[in-house]
Chains A and B, each alone.
Chain A
Amino acid sequence: MADSAPPVLELKGVTKKFGSVVANDRVGFDLQRGEVHALLGENGAGKSTLMSVLYGLYSPDEGEILVDGEPVQIGSPSAAIKLGIGMVHQHFMLIDVMTVAENIVLGQEPVRRGGVLDLKAARARVRELSERYGLAVDPDARIEDITVGAQQRVEILKALYRDARILVLDEPTAVLTAQEARGLTEVLNRLKADGTAIVFISHKLSEVLEVADRITVLRRGKRVETVARQGATERSLARLVVGRDVMLAVEKTPGKPEHALLEVRDLCVDDDRGLEQVTSLSLTVRGGEIVALAGVDGNGQQELVEAIAGLRSPESGSVTVDGRDIAGRGVRSATDAGVAHIAQDRQQRGLVLPFTLTENLALREYRAPQFSARGWLRLGHMKERAQKLLREYDVRGGGPEAYAAALSGGNQQKVCVAREIASDPKLLIAHQPTRGLDVGAIEFVHSRLIAERDRGRAVLLVSLEYEEVRALADRILVIYEGAIAGEFPPDASEEELGIAMTGGHARQAEEVNG
């Protein structure tokens, strides 16, 4: 392709506001035929918003979009599809109860006379595409029965079925195992060779360096810079992403582990569908240490945490907190034994959004004699304590009578953290405690977790973020397919952890320990 050819896609000065928040501020971006152009930035940097503008889901407040050098208006997804733009959303847009073929053809179905579906033609077309690009799928399988990796292949096939020349992948590796991620890279290479232009959205530096030809960094809604892969390093990219040298490590002294407060022995836990997600897992957390459980999402972390917190009954094995067996005895007995649980999803599990902060802050301990007696709430005490905690944890956005829904994400998380720590636990489970928070809030949560450790509590940190794990942990346990795949010291390299997290040989882990 001659250099003079216009880019397949060009965004000029795109601005998108939500109320007073500017999600995209005069962002420019261009994409050439047959290249992978990564869009890199932290959560909330405006990557997904930009791509939603491109896909016609949001209309931009300002700016221009050019496809093949021609200015276009993209008012709806169907307009985007017509222009040859395909999108693989982070949360898959698939219909669980329908088959692969039905999902792929939906909206542009091959039909016979009278609108009757021609499923034979659909299947044939799906097979043809899947062979051409090496995207193995079974056209007749139901989406709910196939793996996440296969679901992603279906999403890519959906775009290809619509003759996409521009393919947008939004955080495509977040849900994949390492093996599946490698498979994805191969597919992308084939697509590239075929002339497809690819936008690759990610916040992971390493994978961007692996797949992208060029990298555009977004920060707080603005484009910082576009760089070629050649010459870029993780360090240089990190500086662009964060805006300063990365200093995520919090001040912390080595832990002083005491006796074991949490003992998990041979625990087996099933998920809702009866599939075993935690397989004969054992671990120990002592007072005065932070143990980080690292792993790719979906390797049993959720079920393990739920089993320890009393939300899920294990099939077998024991969970002992300071000598009390609490396995399968419910949340209350876990709470009574001294377990506090900062839930992964603060809006879904951590808070009752329409409750006031006073009411939210009492959720863990409302049955304690301090806050209720003989069925009556002691509202005065509840409010007094709320006031104290809000001050102590510097929660902004409203007093004890404000609704939790009115707070920003960071302040909501502070409320959750305050409540759990205030219950004076022996064991504090922090499940992705900084997800979706800004840097300031992350630092706050991290320092509180360390403070709790220093007060002799046992902290079990479950995290998907490599930096977070390294910054906080005294010991790192890697969980893979429901079992502990190895134990590492906090200064273990990303590579070592990465291998363990993706099912690499446990031998290497042993070497590290040895």
Chain B
Amino acid sequence: MSVRASATLPSPAVSRRQIAIAGIILGAIAWVITIPPIHVRSLVPSIILAVIAVCAGAWSAAGGERKLGIEAIVLAVLAVAGAEASAHSALGTLESVFTWSALVAATLRYMTPLLFAALGGVISESSGVTNIGLEGMMLMGAFWGIYGADLLHSWVWGVIVAMISGAVLAAVHAFFSIHLRADQIVSGFGIIFLALGITGYFLEYHYGPNGTPLNISMIPNVKLPLIQHVGFFGIAIGDANLMTWIGLALVPALTFFLFHTRGGLRLRSVGEKPRAADTLGLPVLRIRYAAVIASGVLAALGGAYLSVGFVGSFSNDMTNGRGFIALAAMIFGKWKPWGALWATLLFGFGSAMADRVSSVNPTLGTLFEALPYVVTLIAVAGLVGRSRPPAADGIPYVRE
């Protein structure tokens, strides 16, 4: 560390940075104006906007804001492609795809499981344990949630059993990563395989080839009495699942916990510099155990939402990579709860869009399915250096 570390920072390229962001926004607008409710039926305005965005991006990229600038350019190109597609689609088709109220509702549905798992990831990684096994923990929650709801005839019990199952699997990951100082990424993979095996095995063992029963007690939707029938809002949020609301409520709650409570301060200290926490007498390993297990519980809740809250049954590997998406959302969201929310909303929106597009044009819909991953790829590449993981993330703590 430098003696003169406190010397005034040289002024960063603020203006270039702002121009790059403006470029990104312009790029987005270039596409947005071609879809309902605005739906400009000409490509010209979009192209003009996109060209401006490209120039802004190129200028800021040349001036040192490379990542943001390039992002602006990429986005502008994508926007023109999108505008092209909208301009060539029939108005009716466009309107059936961009039924905003239904899109919002679908976005929330797709977001919910991701949000729970991503918040779980935030907790675990804040304490310094990489949890790539979120996928497995979700899967456990999905299966054992159905099993509990079926066996005990109540979705409440289903959710509780799901949480326990997630906690147990997370405890295995915790034991390997904290006590045995395993490579946490490898251990996380082991956890996923284990969960695939266990859920598949017990699905077959308990339910055989017929699958889970049909009359499962399911997590109810919350019918908002006032706005349930109010047009846009009624469709968008008037009838969302209880878990969606819980997940959304968890975002401020977790933020408050992490940054304004004693427990949160200690949790973060262990994730940043466990040795410092240890010299102050904090039980580093115990805090990490608690955090990993909590993350397992949250991921399992996400899984339980999928099975007990949404589909009403369990099928093999039904999480289908959502744990990884949640992981990406957590990174995308800079290891913060609010960030995770925005990122999962983006992914949710992508999936919702793909759904709508598929219903009109299956071929195009398939490509749309890939869009959120492409966006993540660009975002992850662009965000590096700007976001900082907890300093001790993924490093086992050894005292002597």
Taking Cβ atoms with an 8 Å cutoff, the residues of A that contact B are: 55, 57-58, 76-79, 81, 87, 89, 93-98, 102-103, 106-109, 111, 114-117, 145-148, 150, 158, 175, 177, 271, 273-275, 277, 296, 298-299, 481
The reply on B269 being an interface residue by CB < 8 A is: yes
The prevalent SS among residues of B at the interface is: loop
- Known contacts A145-B6, A148-B3, A298-B2; A95/B266 CB under 8 A: no
Asked if B280 CB lies within 8 Å of chain A CBs, one says yes
26 contacts between A and B (CB under 8 A): A77-B278, A77-B279, A81-B280, A93-B273, A93-B276, A93-B279, A94-B276, A95-B268, A95-B273, A98-B272, A106-B266, A106-B282, A107-B277, A111-B261, A114-B261, A116-B262, A117-B260, A117-B265, A146-B5, A148-B5, A271-B2, A273-B5, A273-B9, A275-B9, A277-B4, A481-B3
List residues of chain B with CB within 8 A of the CB of A103. 276
**Residue-wise interface mask of B (243-270) relative to A, using a CB-CB cutoff of 8 A (1 in contact, 0 not):** 0000000000000000011110110110
Is B391 an interface residue when CB atoms closer than 8 A count as contact?
Answer: yes
- Cβ A275 vs Cβ B265 within 8 A: no
Give the residue name and chain of the B residue nearest to A148 (CB): B1
Report if B281 contacts A (CB, 8 A): yes
- Chain B's interface size range is 20 to 34
A contact residues around B1 at 8 Å (CB): 148, 175, 298
Q: How far is the CB of B356 from chain A (nearest CB, A)?
A: 41
Tell me the bound Cα distance from A116 to B399 in angstroms.
29
A148, B5: Cα distance in complex, Å: 8
Which 6 pairs show the lowest CB-CB distances between chains A and B?
A78-B281, A107-B280, A93-B276, A95-B272, A298-B3, A147-B6
Whether B7 is near chain A, meaning CB under 8 Å from some CB there, is yes
Q: Which of B123-160 contact A (CB under 8 A)?
A: none
Residues of B within 8 Å of A158, CB to CB, are 280
Find chain B residues with CB under 8 A from A273 CB: 5, 9
Closest-CB distance, B307 to chain A (whole angstroms): 34
12 new A-B contacts, CB < 8 A, other than A96-B272, A271-B2, are A57-B400, A77-B281, A78-B280, A93-B280, A95-B269, A109-B265, A116-B260, A116-B262, A147-B3, A274-B9, A277-B4, A481-B4
Chain A, residue nearest B275 (CB): A93
Question: How distant is the Cα of A5 from the Cα of B3 in the complex, in angstroms?
Answer: 42
Contact in complex: B275, A102 (CB < 8 Å): no
Chain B: CB-nearest residue to A59: B400
**Residue B208 interfacial (CB < 8 Å):** no
Q: Is B209 an interface residue (CB 8 A)?
A: no
Once the chains bind, are B273 and A94 in contact (CB under 8 Å)?
A: yes
Q: How far is the CA of A77 from the CA of B284 in the complex (A)?
A: 12
Pair B281/A81 contact, Cβ less than 8 Å: yes
Given the complex, which residues of A lie within 8 Å of B279, measured CB to CB? Answer: 55, 57, 77, 87, 89, 93
The answer, yes or no, to whether B225 is at the interface (CB within 8 Å) is no
Looking at chain A's contact residues, the main secondary structure is loop
From residue A225, how far is it (CB to closest CB) to chain B in Å? Answer: 30
Within 8 A of A (CB), among B3-55: 3-7, 9-10
B265 touches A96 (CB 8 A): no
Give chain B residues whose Cβ lies under 8 Å from the Cβ of A89.
279
**Closest beta carbon of chain B to A373's beta carbon, Å:** 37
State whether A98 touches B269 (Cβ < 8 A). yes
- Closest chain A CB from B67 CB (angstroms): 16
State whether A106 touches B2 (Cβ < 8 A): no
Q: Which residues of B contact A58 (CB under 8 A)?
A: 400
Check B2 against A277 for contact (C-beta < 8 Å). yes
Residues in B neighbouring A116, C-beta threshold 8 A? 260-262
Nearest CB on B from A280, distance (A): 15
Q: Is the Cβ of B3 less than 8 Å from the Cβ of A115?
A: no
Contact residues in A for B263 (Cβ distance below 8 Å) = 115
Given known A106-B266, A107-B277, A107-B281, contact A147–B5 (CB-CB < 8 A): yes
